[in-house]
Structure 1
Amino acid sequence: MDVAALAGSLKSLAADLPFLVLDTADGHFEAAQAELKESSRESNAEIGLHKLGAARERLGAARTRLGEAAEAIDDYLAAIGAGTTPAPAATAAPGAPAAAPAPVDPRQWWTDRVNQLCDRDGDPEPEKVPPTRLFNELLKAAGDGNADAYCKRLRDAGPETGVKLPGLAWPLVRSLAAEHLGRNPNASDVPALRDKCVAKVRSLVPKAEPVHVAEALASACTLGCGAGDDAARTAAIGPALVAALHRLPRQRPQDVHDRKTERRA
């Protein structure tokens, strides 16, 4: 390959470096972070903000590497007397307005994710309701075994209210687990509780895997941090898990006393 052909290939390669793609992706991530921060303002649920931040850091590192690659190509072309590579379109002069990323629609994301988790289809009929009312309506649907109503209420609520459900569910999960066990639950109880609850939870949220139910139980019963990074899944599991635990038999204080007496004997 002669110098002119080599230079042409390198210039074409440099022009195709995906600066614009990375900038667009970073814009989407930034918009998603803003939406999630707003939705989680009154919720203690972990909804993936730290992972979005980490993703943006990796994008920044990739952009740096691309810049270094473009600079290396320029240096090589200059060394062989073939001129410099035109600056990529994304490296506009400082202060130039960047193209606005397409807005992230948290409502559509929530609808799609809830439909996927519940293995159903449908469009939302948005209704702004207090979190406690939504929670009670979901508990009723779960208690009745009405998976269609459960999905619809969760889908209609949207992310603004939905992300607040774990804050209502986790104290009840811990309390009901304690009533079933006759003592405060701990990490060693999670596998047994999961096995007793998973069928009921998955009858309402089919795409919630046993490991996700275990994560929710661990978060509630051990006061751990978060139940995964999927806000919709965490919200969907909460009321279903409360309903499942509510069906389990409860230990009477006398039963606990009798077991302690037997162990001492």
Structure 2
Amino acid sequence: MLWSLDLFARMRGHYLRALREHAPGERDAMAAWMGARAAKVGTDFSEEMTSGHFTIDPTPGSLRLDLPHTYVPLRYIPYNGTAIVPPWLHVPPTKPRVCLTLGTSATERLDGYSVSVQDVLTSLADLDIELVATLPEKQQAELTHVPDNVRLVSFVPLQALAPTCSAVISHGGSGTFLTMAGQGVPQLIEPFMFDDELRAERLAEQGAGLVLHGRDTSGPRVREHLLRLLGEPSFAEAAGKLRAEMEAMPTPNELVGELERLTAEHRGTVAS
């Protein structure tokens, strides 16, 4: 079961092609490693061991990587754990609401965000929007000025915030990305790590968002791109199509029967 794009299967495919084209006599390191372990339980290596008989995938088909595997779609269901929805979220916004969320990995595991939050807040200060900025308290304390159009919070359950937003500015992490996509929110993504960039580019290709790469990221550039998301209807239209695509994917309950069928189908193919 995937949590994002199937980069592992794609890397495996690249590796096998490289072996065939550039080193046909070279040993397949993964096959050797997995084969040695398979032998201990009385079976041989097969390529299905690297990616399974089928893969459960919450990524909508229009964003999925084109790979020769069996993908079983599953609608993404956001869950932010036990949380209190603040009273202001129960009141419809009176102006376009924009979410600014840059994830937790940047501050909890690494050296910080790839963009100056203060620079972004300052550049958006004169816009007629409500900017909901989710920042840990430590990062909040480092700000020198909080504009009047900013609602500063340390945490808010994203699945409750997303339906009220007209746009989101984020790092493009899979949870944020799929939660916002599932609500039809146009996204401005500043890719940070892992597969964020590839996922963001595929979203932009669908017309449902824009990408700002690290070297291009600044407060004025964020402002420029956000104004496009809010001012050009095509982004909301494309984001709405993506939402409809995700809503057409089976829920976990609806997937049970298909999992039973696939399990029965492949059970007989496993060596005893």
When normalised by structure 2's length, the TM-score is 0.24
Between Structure 1 and Structure 2, which shows a larger proportion of helix residues?
1
Between Structure 1 and Structure 2, which shows a larger proportion of strand residues?
2
- Which protein has greater RCO, CA pairs closer than 8 Å, 6+ apart? 1
For the pair shown, the structure with the greater C-alpha radius of gyration is: 1
